[in-house]
Structures are given as C-alpha cells and as structure tokens.
Chain A
C-alpha cells in the first residue's frame, strides 16, 4: 500500500534525534583524544577501555551535581535559557537533506524531515534564534560577568550572521534555488568532476566556514566564554543538568554547522563520482536487487558519505580549537565587519557579473 511521505518524515524524526544523541558522545571522545594527541599527552583512559565510557561518566556527573540557582536570578528565564540553547540546533536538522530518496511501491520518500522549498532561508532563520539562549542566560544570572559575556557573545553572533547572509546571496545566485535538496542535487556529478560548492564559490565557502566558528562560539572566537577572561561567560552560574544542556547545545550546533557546510559546499549526501541513479543501476544490474532494495542500499551509502563529510568538518573544529589562540574582542568584530562583510559584498558583485555574462553565452 502507498503511505503518505509525511509518515516517513515523522518516522525520521526520532531516528535523527537518536543519531544526534549518539553523535555527541562520539565528538566528545574525538575532542578529548584529539586534543590529547595534539598536546602529546594521554587522553582519558580510566573509565572503560580507551576511556570509551568517559561521556557516560560526564553525563552521570552532570545529573548528580547540585543545581544552584542564584538568589536574585530571574527563575523562569534562568531555566528557559538552556532549553533555548538546545532547540535551534536540533531544529536545524529538520531541513538538512540526509540522503536521496527511498523508492517503495512506486512512491518516493525523500530522506529529509521537511521538504519546504525555502530550506536555506529557514536554516538561516533558525541560526538567528540561537542568540536568545545567550542573552537570556547572561541576563537572568544576575551577574555582571555573565551579562558582559552574553552581550559580547550575542553581538559577535549577530555580526557574523550578517556576513553569512551576504555571502549566501552569491551562492543562491549560482545555484538558482533556495531549496537545499535541489542544491545537493545540482552538486551531483556522476562520472564527471563533482561540481561542489567549494569549487564554484570558494570565497563564500571560506567566509561561511570562518563564520560558523563564530556562530558556535568555538575557538578562535570563544572570548565570550573564555575561561581566563570572564570565568565562563554567560553560563557562569549554571551547574548540573542545565550546564549539560548548554554543552549539548554547543556540540549539536557544531554538528548543524558542519551539516550546513557539507550540504552547501561539499556535495551534501552525494557519493563522489557516483550519482544516485548510477548507484541504483549498479545495485539493480550487478546484484539483481529490486528497485526498493537498491534505493535503500543507495540511501545507506549516501548516509555514510554524508556522515563522513560531516566528521571531516567536526575534526577541523576540534583541530582549530586546540591549535589557534583566541581572538581579542575588537579583533573579532573587526574581522566580521571590516573584512568578511566587504569581501562578501564584492563576492556578490563578481558572481553577479560572471553569472550574467555566462547566461548571455559569453558576451556582455
């Protein structure tokens, strides 16, 4: 019988959630072991074999720690802030295309929770909501350091959002659509050279990559939560499970930023050199599988490719964190406003000219 694609999307929701929740311990371990390797020391090796139970130990610690709410804090907003930190990154995964389509009984089920035609804009909108967690956390803690950290962090995030917004325009010019699924499909190449976004719009790629560090408050842009300057910035007063939620939110935001970069610039879920139809054909002719089974196998391979690319970006996040020193706040803002924004505008102008010339067949 033919199911409505909506049910497939609904079934994807818990799967994506579970995937994210299992991904966070993985990135925790990668960070711990990666930083240990880069700093020539041993990583966690007490809890379980190769420290594999370390994330579990961390989670248990957060659960059992005493939850301390400052006396003069604004309780409702204090409790709301960690929730606001976790929701937008998870919501961002609602529009990321994770794989191609599953064909079942003549109906196509795209492996994407929400297939709205403006998914790129929706993603930008959701990232701009991340600012609220920082502001509410800093203000409701009734602590001058927290408030300062919150104002710094939120103005940093907003400044880099502007750079992202401007450079995205040139990307949309090149691809001609706001739909993430369509953008991924346009990066499919088959046996030719993959037309990845990084090749078509290198400046946009670099700008977005740098801005994603600023958006997730990761080094070298983590002055707002710099341990040596502001205690812990906007989450100074948070302990126990609430702090764990902030932590979780930061790692899921890293995943969301990586997924965003992969989808726009590294071909999304496409397996390099193998388009979706080619893969399905291989499975159908060589293994003599049915269309349904072939599509499932294709989707599986595409998921593996997607996860591998996302992990590349996550590794770079970890690598940069333990390599580069922190930016000073005014240097940070200068970079966002005086370098990335003008470069973004120039990029748009150049892309406009080039696209116009190419559309007219090489003549002005």
Chain B
C-alpha cells in the first residue's frame, strides 16, 4: 500500500489544486504534465522512467489525469510498482467524481485523496475550513465572522480563501470583525432572479424590492422574462407543496421526493414558504402571472414596472392585474 503513487480525485478544484501546491513544497524536483495537452499513457511512463541529469528525486504531477489517452503502458508501470528505487513519485490529479480503472489501480498501491465539493448546507465543514485557512496565514477573526463569511460567499473554497487573504490585507495585525467582512465581501453577482422571486413568496417586501432593483440593474430589460419564468416555476412547486401538505398531510421528505429536491432545500424554499400562502391566493397569483407572461412578451411599455408589480403583489398577498 506504500507504492510511489498518489491519486487525488473529485469535483472540488481548490482541494485538487492544493495537491499540486503540496507537490511543489516537497524537497523533490517537480515535473508538471497536463493531459489536456494530448498526453498519452506512454508519455507519462516515459517521463517517469527517464532519469534526470542530476539523478534527483522527482515528483511527476499529471493534471487532468482522467484525460490521459490509453492505459496499457501505464497499467504495466503501476503493476510493476513504479521506478524500482522509489525515486519517482507519480501524483495524478483526476478532475472527476469517479476514478478511471488505471488510476484506481494506482491508488490501491499508493494513496487516494477524495476531494469532494462541499454542499451549501454543510456549514460546519465550511466554517472549519475557513478557520483552518485563516490560521495558516495568521489571520485572527471574531467568533461569528467565519460563519458570516460562509453565508456571504457560499461553498466555493477558492473564493473563500481569496476573501480571507483580502481580509488579512485589510485588517493587518488586528482581529477581523463583522464590519471588516462587510467591507471586503461583494456578492458574486448583484442578484439572481430566483432570489427576488423567493423573497417575494417569503413576503419580504423590502428585500424583494432591493433584489428586483439589482436584478434589473444587472440584467436590464431581459430581467422581466427571467423573473416571469422564475415566478411561474416556483408557484407551481408551491401549489403542489401546499396541496400535498394541507390536503394529504405529506411530510417534508415526501414533498421533497415529489419535487425531486433535497429535503433541507424543500423545507426552506417550498414547505415554509407555501405555509405563508393560502391555496386560493396561489391560484390568484397564477392568474397574475399569466397576465405578466402576456405583458412582458407583448408590446407593453415599462415591462420592468409590470415585473415589479407582480413581485410586490405576491409579497403583499394581493393578486393584482398587471396589464
């Protein structure tokens, strides 16, 4: 199990890239190969078995290893246990959720690292990651800051690390506070249509207005189409949720299965939100959305006003005519 092979695979680019950083930090010379350049298995083996002039210990890193063409030569190399004196370490970065057979074999005789992307609801793991990364560069944070950072930035590890580095530059030697965080963190995009729509159905009027303004600022006139479509998609799900919960007494798990979403997301985005509306209100809103569909795809002027009016009528719980 201690062969000269390390295989890192998964869908989290930050963790995969960090394996390359690890290779660079070792006291060995590093040869970087990328299978996107049309690398074949024979090229990999040839690089491994050809000694360098100074005969130094080496690490051969193969990025995008899932795209290496062919596997017979590589398989033979792996089965033979690599270079006999152990001077060459082969590190394969496989950027996919599953391992090709040859790299699986290499992993079995060496080490395997699974670099799985963290889900948005895995808050604790993300917070732990933020603390660890901050610790590495000597940044001190107030207790609630790592959690807020995760809330603001989301589960993208690359971006989390960049924000931590920005924060270190801002605060210098002092402890980072919530205020510092708000100064450095900018949303990835101002707002997505679905966020405005979800806020409207949650009856958060101010948030709905703010988000819809951002959506229009960012997307322009086409925001009306996207908002209209997002509203239609969500209201259908809310109607089904409302019906299943109130008429059939369905649990969150049952509703989640019916809608094909994770139970956590289902509870947050559908069950809790549907509870704020009556069935008749939702049907009334559907009529509003039908008129909105006709209006935004017709020749009406000020489509933005129509879109915002529909959002507000939902947030207020009053079906209104938009045309």
> Are chains A and B native binding partners rather than an unrelated pairing?
no
Residues of A within 8 A of B (CB): none
Residues of B within 8 A of A (CB): none
